[in-house]
Amino acid sequence: MRWFGRGLCLLAACHVVSLGCKRESSRPNAAFRAYEDASPRLASAADSAPMFADPTPRLGGGLHDPLWRKGPIGHVTVGASEVSGGTVANADRVVAGLRAGFRACYNRAIGISPAQKGSLRIVARLNEQGAVTQARAEGGRGLAPETIDCIVRRVQSASFSAPEGSNVVVAIPLTLELAEEE
């Protein structure tokens, strides 16, 4: 690998020598001397602009940065999950992991119809392995049916740890509203 890198530098130096109209290129050490002469210029050019620079500016705000996302931004508040009929060890962690999906559903919906906001409760029934067998929404006034369906599908795709007990139900309260402008 070390030889390969020197070979590329030597090749670049030969190219610099040929463009510089120096006649020393026919001698064996001329390319090396040209490399030594050109190396400070090559290093400063390499330091100023990376070879494979990403042309996309990164401002640190992600999707919530106004330059990246146009239109309203939604805020989803997920309340404490309620488990009945048994216990589920990782219910809070799984519900917290679903928050980004809920926010994606809501942001997609308010991009089409910004007036949507409301509260709902998703009720999910689990089987003995922890998979969601049935999920339904309660409430949701002020939200489009497509938004509620998207959120219900996110819950249906969730996988909880095996519950202790039979007929276990997890209820997830949600509040969806527009984020405050800063």
The per-residue pLDDT for 16 is: 44
Residues 78 and 118 reside in one and the same domain: yes
In a domain, 30, yes or no: yes
The per-residue pLDDT for 59 is: 43
The per-residue pLDDT for 45 is: 46
The per-residue pLDDT for 55 is: 46
The per-residue pLDDT for 71 is: 72
Residues 40 and 84 reside in one and the same domain: no
The per-residue pLDDT for 15 is: 47
Residues 139 and 90 reside in one and the same domain: yes
Residues 118 and 168 reside in one and the same domain: yes
In a domain, 56, yes or no: no
Measure the CA–CA gap between 106 and 104, rounded to whole angstroms. 5
The per-residue pLDDT for 179 is: 85
Domain holding 80, by residue range, is 71-178
The per-residue pLDDT for 39 is: 46
Q: How many domains does the chain have?
A: 2
Residues 98 and 40 reside in one and the same domain: no
Measure the CA–CA gap between 106 and 97, rounded to whole angstroms. 16
**Mean pLDDT, each 10-residue run in order, the chain (182 residues):** 49 47 48 50 46 44 50 90 95 95 94 92 96 96 96 96 93 92 60
Helix (H) or strand (E) holding 133: strand 132-139
Report DSSP state, residue 26: G
Residues 75 and 43 reside in one and the same domain: no
Residues 95 and 128 reside in one and the same domain: yes
Measure the CA–CA gap between 130 and 174, rounded to whole angstroms. 21
- The CATH number for 75's domain is 3.30.500
Residues 42 and 76 reside in one and the same domain: no
**Non-local CB neighbours of 17 within 8 Å, separated by 6+ positions:** 24, 25, 30, 31, 34
Residues 101 and 170 reside in one and the same domain: yes
Q: Which tokens is 88 given? A: 């589920």
Measure the CA–CA gap between 49 and 44, rounded to whole angstroms. 9
In a domain, 11, yes or no: yes
Report DSSP state, residue 55: -
